[in-house]
Every structure is written in C-alpha cells, then in structure tokens.
Amino acid sequence: MNVIREGDYVMLYLAKDSSKYLIKVKKGNILHTHEGFIRHEDLIGMSYGETILSSIGTEFFRL
C-alpha cells in the first residue's frame, strides 16, 4: 500500500470544476482553496487514489 508521507508530492483534484492543486506535503502547512482548506498533516498516512474532505465538506481526490 502506497501511503502519503511528509515530503511527498500530492495532486488534489476537485471534480466539480476540474481544479487541480499540486502540493508538497509538509506538517504545519495548509492548502487554501475556494472550496475550503486542507491541512497537510491530514494527508499523511492516507492512501493515494482516495478522497479527503475540505474544511467545508467538499470532496477532493488524492492523486
């Protein structure tokens, strides 16, 4: 199983408007989007290819 670690690059994809965000995961960082925010540390230990919810409940795919 390939899990996300600090220092990994992750593409977050928002299907409803095709927005894409490429981030380098670092503890303490936060991705701010028009559909809420996602804390980088919330990604650590998760698998690629699944979803994560933003602060306002919008679903992003982890690629």
Q: Could you report the per-residue pLDDT of 16-60, keeping only the tens digit for each?
A: 899 999 999 999 999 999 999 999 999 999 999 999 999 999 999
In a domain, 53, yes or no: yes
Q: How many domains does the chain have?
A: 1
> Side chain identity at 60, as an amino acid letter?
F
Residue 24 tokens, joined: 């380098």
| 0.85 surpassed by pTM | yes
Q: Is the pLDDT of residue 8 over 80?
A: yes
In a domain, 41, yes or no: yes
In a domain, 1, yes or no: no
In a domain, 29, yes or no: yes
In a domain, 3, yes or no: no
Say which CATH number the domain at 22 has.
Answer: 3.10.330.20
The domain in which residue 25 lies consists of 9-62
Q: What are phi and psi of 9, to 5 degrees?
A: -90, 140
